[in-house]
């Protein structure tokens, strides 16, 4: 059975998240229904990351197996046609070996969180969190630096997180500003449930002057969910990219 790797973008606003659930429509469901219309049989689509309700993606990756071969551009274009008018698009499709797994073959995941730091409401930008009070991005970066590296991130994971271990290695947590736009980029091999939004909400407290960078260290060391700052809303979070080992790299 031929296997295809899909690179997907979506507006997560109308969805209950990536994974199929009983309480609403999921991105995975939209893709699986499109795949079934293309090949005529139920088809499982497996994703690299289980984004939550309202979280967006520009670089989600998934794989699926078809019972018969199709050209990669046919898979892309036909499934996109079957998903209209839902806000989901396959931006690239390629045939891969059956040893490729969108989740387990991933070596890094990159998230972007967007904050628009202004008092007026957002009329057009749905993929952002508006923070009306001024943010000190330099202080936020100082707080972010306390989280880089390998740590027990119990404080920054949801109570319902099903990961076996709270220990993760955070490779990157960068805070930058361009005008009123504050962007936070986080990279790691894998993240805990709600980890990025929990870190962003805590860093916002630093940026607002309510926390000091030392308070971020104390929260991390507490290894306790109540020590976390407020969780940032889902609307500003984007799964931007998933990295895989390429043929010319050592495995």
The class of domain 3-96 in CATH terms is alpha beta
d(CA 236, CA 234): 6
In the predicted model, is pLDDT for residue 248 greater than 70? no
Written in H, E and C, the secondary structure of 34-99 is HHHHHHCCCCCEEECCCCCCCCEEEEEEEEEECCCCCCHHHHHHHHHHHHCCCCEEEEEEEEECCC
- 78, two tokens: 């036909």
Q: Which residue is associated with the tokens 């998240």?
A: 17
Average pLDDT over residues 183-193: 97
pLDDT at 249: 54
How confident is the model over 24-74, as pLDDT tens digits?
Answer: 999 999 999 999 999 999 999 999 999 999 999 999 999 999 988 999 999
Q: Give the confidence band of 126 by pLDDT, cuts at 50, 70, 90.
A: confident
- 51, two tokens: 């984004």
Q: Residue ranges of the domains in the chain?
A: 3-96, 107-243
In the predicted model, is pLDDT for residue 242 greater than 70? yes
The residue annotated as part of the active site, out of 22, 52, 125, 243, is: 52
In the predicted model, is pLDDT for residue 7 greater than 80? yes
Q: What percent of the chain has pLDDT over 70?
A: 98
Q: Collapse the DSSP code of 31 into the 3-class scheme (helix H, G, I; strand E, B; otherwise coil) and give the result.
A: helix
Is residue 125 among the annotated active site residues?
no
In the predicted model, is pLDDT for residue 251 greater than 50? no
Count CB neighbours of 189 within 10 A: 13
pLDDT at 246: 73
The class of domain 107-243 in CATH terms is alpha beta
How confident is the model over 134-182, as pLDDT tens digits?
Answer: 999 999 999 999 999 999 999 999 988 989 999 999 999 999 999 999 9
Domains 3-96 and 107-243 in one fold: yes
Q: Give the confidence band of 247 by pLDDT, cuts at 50, 70, 90.
A: very low
How confident is the model over 87-113, as pLDDT tens digits?
Answer: 999 999 999 999 999 999 999 999 999
């Amino acid at each position: 059975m031929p296997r295809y790797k899909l690179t997907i973008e979506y507006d997560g606003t109308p969805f209950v998240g990536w994974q199929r659930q009983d309480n609403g429509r999921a991105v995975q469901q939209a893709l699986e229904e499109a795949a079934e219309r293309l090949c005529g049989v139920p088809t499982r689509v497996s994703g690299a990351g289980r984004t939550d309700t309202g979280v967006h993606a520009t670089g989600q990756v998934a794989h699926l197996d078809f019972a018969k071969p199709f050209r990669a551009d046919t898979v892309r274009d036909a499934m996109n046609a079957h998903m209209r008018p839902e806000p989901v698009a396959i931006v690239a499709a390629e045939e891969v070996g059956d040893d490729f797994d969108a989740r387990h073959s991933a070596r890094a995941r990159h998230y972007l969180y967007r904050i628009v730091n202004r008092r007026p409401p957002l009329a057009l930008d749905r993929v952002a969190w508006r923070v009306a009070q001024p943010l000190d991005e330099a202080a936020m970066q100082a707080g972010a630096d306390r989280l880089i590296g390998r740590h027990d991130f119990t404080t920054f994971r949801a109570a319902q997180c099903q990961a076996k271990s709270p220990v993760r290695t955070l490779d990157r947590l960068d805070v930058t500003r361009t005008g009123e736009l504050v962007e936070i980029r986080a990279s790691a091999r894998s993240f805990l449930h709600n980890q990025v939004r929990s870190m962003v909400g805590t860093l916002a407290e630093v940026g607002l002057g309510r926390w000091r960078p030392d308070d971020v260290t104390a929260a991390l060391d507490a290894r306790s969910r109540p020590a976390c700052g407020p969780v940032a809303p889902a609307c500003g979070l984007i799964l931007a990219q998933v990295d895989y080992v390429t043929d010319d790299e050592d495995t």
